Amino acid sequence: MIASRASKTIALSSLVALTLISGMTPAVGTELTTQETAPPAQSPSVSSQTPAAQPSAAEPTAPAVETEPAPTEPAVVPNASADPAPESTLPAEPAPSSSVPAAPTAREELTPEDYANNPELLAELIGRNGAEMGQGLERIAVTGDPQQATPAESLMPEGSARSLDAAPKAAAAPAATNYWQPSTGVLGVDVSSHQGQYVNWNGAWNYGSRFAYVKATEALSYKNPYFGTQYTQSGNRGMIRGAYHFAIPNVSSGAAQANYFVANGGGWSPDGRTLPPLLDVEYNPYPSLGNTCYNMSASQMVNWIRDFSNRMVTLTGRKPMIYTTTDWWSRCTGNSSAFADHPLHVASYNNSGAGTLPRSWSYYSVWQYTSSGPVIGDWNQWNGSLTSLQAFARGSGASGSSGAIHQAWLRSGGANGPLGTARSSSDICGLHGGGCYRSYAGGNIYWTAATGAHAVTGAYWKAWGEAGWQMKIGYPTAGVRCGLHNGGCYQSFTGGNVYYHPSGGAHAVTGAYWKAWGEAGWQMKIGYPTAGVRCGLHNGGCYQSFTGGNVYYHPSGGAHAVTGAYWKAWDEAGWQMGTLGYPADRVRCGLHGGGCYQEFTGGHIYNTSATGANAVTQPYREAWRLSGWQMGRLGYPLQPAVASQGYRNVEFEGGWLRWTATGVQVRYK
């Protein structure tokens, strides 16, 4: 987590002043661009002008295995003879250095191996303040390359990492403060030595911060000189606090850096006030140490992170939370899915949402959404309630399913059953609505006090994600059940069901769409769902496709199925863009001569075996009424009688309705 602080404001502001003085053209994009959340993908046959022509089941992008914070029972800390013992979570504050290390003298070009083999060189490279959270993201915003320093950084020694001491002395207006904050969750901050010894914790608290992560260490050569003060004062203000380590993976093993971290403040206790340790693994801020991935292959990086994590579990009893960006994770781990049982702290600077997550996760625990917020700079959102944050801090020892998840796994056959071996060693809690889960090779088991423990796997898990996970359709209330019409299966959730059939795959049907499906005769009449709900139709409409028709929704008429001859007649009348509008009711029968009809917001479609289905809207409908409806001499329509097709003659069984500028006239056969 590289911190973005007052130093960031000074450095960038100084750059503006210097460029004005020198006449240079400043770099474009010193602020991050706000990302917009893309609307749901629409079938090629659906547009804002033309509805889907019985759209096929588009396969949505599958989210990564859903993950939540992954607490584990704390292990007994080994004695000093085995490995360095972790210190208290409130370590004594090291005395700050009295001076900045001298700039390196001229020497032959050094390699990453030189720094790895010489701690003094590495300490000189890191500098007094070390790396700062989000430095790579800011470089991308300004230069387009996480390995290319910004103009502001270029004015400083490489190792200074934009410390206050190294900032150029130039007067300029401070960078704009981002006062936006997410509408849900719990706010928090992160700090490092860049904020100095005395942070305005009261100001952060008053703005809403209820948790804080404090940088403790970096690589094997750096300790935050203000860690003790920052950690203690944030806790004294009432915040739940934790420590983080900035990884330099190519200078030592992961286990060695875990030892160094825990020995210098990175411990954990289940007191409800201490967050689990955090591993900050992101863009390499030091070009001297290699490329943005530290000259490591994806497999080497994954193994390094696993080595760090395994050692942290041994020392603290908790898997570390992982801080990263989706871009870096994709570049440097090959978008690994190996850490689904670790909580995620994702960095994505915008005011719209965390965006696409790395492949290991379908759910983030913490989102760092800005580096230019008020008071502190870096602001974060815990993705849940304060109660769930407190449970996350306590770990599984104080919360969880009380063995219900484990028992459900055993009932399924344990390691020899469809779920296979466990990927999580304990319940992972803090999910939306107080849920917990465990990850297995073949899927996950989810638990809440209200629903019990049930597995969600394969196509059902994917469909659950497509529908919005537990935040939208709740938790599973049972396992998969089969025996439905024509070989279908389903799994029930608190807010809807996921249905599966080989013809269309697995998709959730919920709320108004589920009611409309039943209204139309369920799978026996219009088949099984072939896709999730898709929106973006004319005037705010949405639809869900089934093998035998579609269910359309619009606020003006609700959700109703349109199938077969009615769907074709709707097409002939101009779809929802025409005068018919959206469906407002199901098909109803019992009319004169065996006729049926379906009401739409702007008219009706009438259908008989002799005439087929045809739409009738005003002004034709009023003239038809005056002539006695279908019981009169005109009978049923043989063509669409809709105003959107303009002045014309429309044939009925017993005559015509002719619409002209003077009105509608009836002419009988």
**Maximum CA extent, the chain:** 107
218 three-state secondary structure: strand
Beta-carbon neighbour count of residue 371 at 10 Å?
28
Element (H, E) at 585: strand 583-591
Q: Is 585 a catalytic residue?
A: no
In three-state secondary structure terms, 466 is helix
Phi/psi class of residue 637: alpha, beta or left (left: φ > 0; alpha: ψ in -120 to 50)?
A: beta
- State how beta strands 240-246 and 209-218 pair: parallel
Is 83 designated active site?
Answer: no
What ranges in 269-411 are assigned the alpha helix state H?
298-316, 326-333, 386-394, 404-411
Edge to edge, the sheet with strand 489-493 lists 481-482, 489-493, 496-501, 505-509
Strands (E), 185-268: 186-191, 209-218, 222-223, 240-246
Bridge partners (DSSP) of residue 660 are 663
Quick check: is 280 catalytic?
A: yes
Q: Residue 288's closest CA among 471, 428, 104, 140?
A: 104
Cα(440)–Cα(628) distance, rounded to whole angstroms? 68
Question: By C-alpha distance, which of 139, 138, 115 is closest to 126?
Answer: 115
Which of these is catalytic: 124, 132, 282, 427? 282
- Check if the beta carbon of residue 320 is closer than 8 Å to that of residue 276: yes
Hey, which bits of 103-262 come out as E strands?
Answer: 186-191, 209-218, 222-223, 240-246
Distance CA 248, CA 220 (A): 9
The catalytic position among 132, 158, 190, 218 is 190
Residue 177 to residues 5, 110, 350, 373, Cα–Cα distance (Å): 11, 39, 13, 5
For residues 634 and 649, is the Cβ–Cβ distance under 8 A? no
Catalytic residue among 280, 327, 341, 466: 280
Q: Are 37 and 225 in contact (CB under 8 A)?
A: no
How many angstroms separate the Cα of 407 from the Cα of each of 71, 401, 419, 466?
A: 19, 10, 13, 28
Q: Annotated active-site positions, please? A: 190, 280, 282
